[in-house]
């Protein structure tokens, strides 16, 4: 085990390609990805990860075909409903995304209810924090923080913006994971991952393994111990 105080953030890419390579519909890839997320959560707990943040659904993903979006929404309702397993792992659930009360927010009410219940039912857990980014975009988050400051009349500084992000207590990212052979950074935790190393994995998200996660954690450890 690596010990705690490691924040791993994952861009879970490649579900559709994973399915296509197997002659399956894209929805099958998303289902496999959701199942593997549960496996990665278990591995992260075993490896002593303190924070695991995953990019579940972006503000840009709403343009996908309606059937695919509906399927992903159902998977997230299921994900937030894994209370028994999360409790057994002592995992605390958090969520970041466009606030439900905002007119621009698009999270359906049944997913909102699942999110609220998961947060409430796991709030007393003291182990790893699993944060799911749903209806999330980093640029939207930063703009939201700036607008909050404008309305309050507070000066705009690095510190004041950080205090107005969706989850101000979310620590800096120690390593950012991007799967499926993609070597680019999406609109995910741009503020929080400043300076973090990026672990590019060839495996599509449904095939991302505990050994891949170990490699990412090792990269975070090497980077943190390297001289500036």
Per-block average pLDDT, block size 10, for the chain (228 residues)?
72 95 96 96 96 96 93 91 94 97 92 95 97 97 96 95 97 97 92 96 97 96 71
- This prediction has a pTM of 0.94
pLDDT for 223: 85
pLDDT for 5: 65
pLDDT for 184: 87
Annotated active-site positions, please? 13, 61
pLDDT for 1: 41
* Reduced 3-state DSSP string for the chain: CCCCCCEEEEECCCHHHHHHHCCCCHHHHHHHHHHHHHHHHHHHHHCCCCEEEEEEEECCHHHCCHHHHHHHHHHHHHHHCCHHHHHHCCCEEEEECCCCCCCCCCCCHHHHHHHHHHHHHHCCCCCCEEEEEEEECHHHHHHHHHHHHHHHCCCCCHHHHHHCCCCCCCCCCCEEEECCCCCCCCCCCCCCCCCCCEEECCCCHHHCCHHHHHHHHHHHHHHHHCCC
pLDDT for 3: 45
């Amino acid at each position: 085990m690596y010990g705690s105080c490691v924040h791993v953030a994952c861009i879970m890419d490649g579900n559709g390609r994973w399915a296509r390579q197997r002659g399956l519909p894209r929805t099958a890839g998303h289902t496999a990805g959701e199942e593997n997320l549960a496996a990665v959560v278990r591995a992260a707990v075993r490896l002593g990860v303190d924070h695991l943040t995953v990019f579940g659904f972006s503000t840009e993903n709403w343009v996908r075909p309606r059937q695919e979006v509906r399927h992903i929404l159902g998977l997230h309702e299921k994900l937030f409903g894994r209370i028994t397993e999360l409790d057994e792992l002592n995992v605390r659930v958090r969520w970041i995304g466009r606030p439900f009360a905002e007119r621009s927010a698009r999270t359906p009410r049944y997913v909102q209810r699942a999110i609220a219940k998961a947060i409430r039912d796991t709030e007393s857990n003291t182990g790893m924090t699993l944060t799911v980014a749903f209806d999330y975009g980093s640029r939207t988050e930063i703009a939201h923080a700036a607008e909050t400051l404008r309305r309050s009349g507070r000066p705009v500084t690095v510190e004041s913006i950080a205090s107005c992000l969706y989850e101000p207590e979310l620590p800096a990212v120690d390593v950012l994971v991007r799967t499926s052979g993609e070597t680019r950074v999406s609109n995910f935790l741009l503020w929080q991952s400043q300076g973090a190393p990026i672990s590019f994995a060839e495996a599509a998200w449904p095939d991302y393994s505990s050994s891949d996660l170990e490699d990412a954690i090792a990269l975070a450890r090497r980077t943190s111990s390297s001289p500036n």
